[in-house]
Amino acid sequence: MRISYLARKEVLVAFCFLAPSLIGFALFYLIPFGQSVVFSFENPSGEAGLSLANYQSLLASSSFQKAAGNTFWFTIIGVPILILLSLALAMLLNKRVFFRNWLRTSYVLPLVVPVASIVLVWQILVDWNGFFNHVLEWVGIERIDWMKSEWAQGVIIFIYVWKNIGYNVVLFLAGLQNIPDQYYEIANLEGAGWARKHQITLIYLIPTGFLVMLMSILNSFKVFREIYLVAGDYPHDSIYMLQHYMNNMFLSLDIQKLSAAACLMVLCILVIVLMLFRVEHKFRSFME
């Protein structure tokens, strides 16, 4: 009886501490999203009742198709590059290399610098009169209008990788340092080579890899800030993302289409997250 009373008291105390955050989350996230779901099913003609007309109009829109396609390809290309580079850098930093301290500073720097400052630097680099074009002219190559050509997607992927690589490296380093040393000692006793040791590393990094992949995918959907600050409201077609489409719908006060687009994006993210958790659960069951 005493234990039950203490357990209830601890739950009550924990709820009291969590209550401000839960209230704020409900007011600024749950309730507005619930309203968006309702708006997305409203009849565009103003008639009473629910309708799928907003979703049908959205899926038939060429602007939405372009934004969804660009977002999809950006995630497909950018996320693997980010994960591979961050894993390679984490494995390098996990060893005793003479420039390790310099590398640690360089990958942590984008995490502490405000996004606006980062984008200002990149504007200087990729502007028509920027650093990159001066270098091209110096080596005898014509200037490139980086943000008004097909190079724009490459620039944004580079910014995305540079901005998020530090966070992924920290996660991978934590995973590497949690691998027991006895696995490598046993491998050395058995005469295992370089490839076999790295296979051990990759196998035990898979749980961390799921988390890194999840965070990288979520961060890829938040790249709108960088694109907006570098290229403005209407960027080149190759970097016109879902967030641009929703921002334009908001500016035109087309709340119903905006809500429908937001719901579809949330649904896609939810499906991706559930798939990753499902794969991780199967992997954990296999390892046990």
Domain boundaries, the chain: 61-287
The pLDDT value given to residue 80: 93
pLDDT value of position 194: 67
Read off the tokens for 67.
Answer: 């934004």
Amino acid letter, residue 246? M
pLDDT for residue 78: 92
3-state secondary structure of 50: strand
Check residue 74 and give its pLDDT: 92
- Contact assessment for residue 89 and residue 169, using Cβ atoms and an 8 Å cutoff: yes
- Rounded to whole angstroms, the maximal C-alpha distance in the chain is 84
| Distance separating alpha carbons of residues 239 and 123, to the nearest angstrom | 16
Residue whose C-alpha is closest to residue 156's, from 130, 123, 134, 128: 123
**Is the full-model pTM beyond 0.95?**
no
Cβ atoms of 218 and 168 within 8 Å: the answer is no
What is the dotted CATH code of the domain comprising 61-287?
1.10.3720.10
What does pLDDT average to in each consecutive run of 10 residues of the chain (288 residues)?
68 86 88 86 73 84 89 92 90 70 68 74 79 85 82 87 87 83 72 71 82 89 83 81 86 84 89 85 70
Contact between residue 126 and residue 230 where contact means Cβ atoms under 8 Å apart: yes
pLDDT of amino acid 82: 93
* Residue 42: strand, helix, or coil: strand
| Contact between 73 and 276 (Cβ < 8 Å) | no
Strands (E) in the chain, as ranges, are: none
Q: Check residue 200 and give its pLDDT.
A: 74
On whether the CB atoms of residues 171 and 211 are closer than 8 A, the answer is yes
Residue type, position 91, single letter: M
CA–CA separation, 276 and 270 (whole Å): 10
Q: Which amino acid is at 254?
A: D
Q: Which residue has the tokens 């058995």?
A: 190
How many CB atoms within 10 Å of residue 197? 14
- Give residue 173's pLDDT: 86
Name which of 253, 265, 255 is nearest 41 in CA terms: 255
Say if residue 50 is exposed, middle or buried (CB neighbours under 10 Å; 0-12, 13-18, 19+).
Answer: exposed
pLDDT of amino acid 204: 78
Q: φ and ψ at 50, to 5 degrees?
A: -95, 150
Burial of 94 by CB count in 10 Å (0-12 exposed, 13-18 middle, 19+ buried)?
Answer: middle
* pLDDT in the model for residue 58: 86
Residue tagged 């660009």 (tokens): 70
Residue at 1: amino acid letter? M
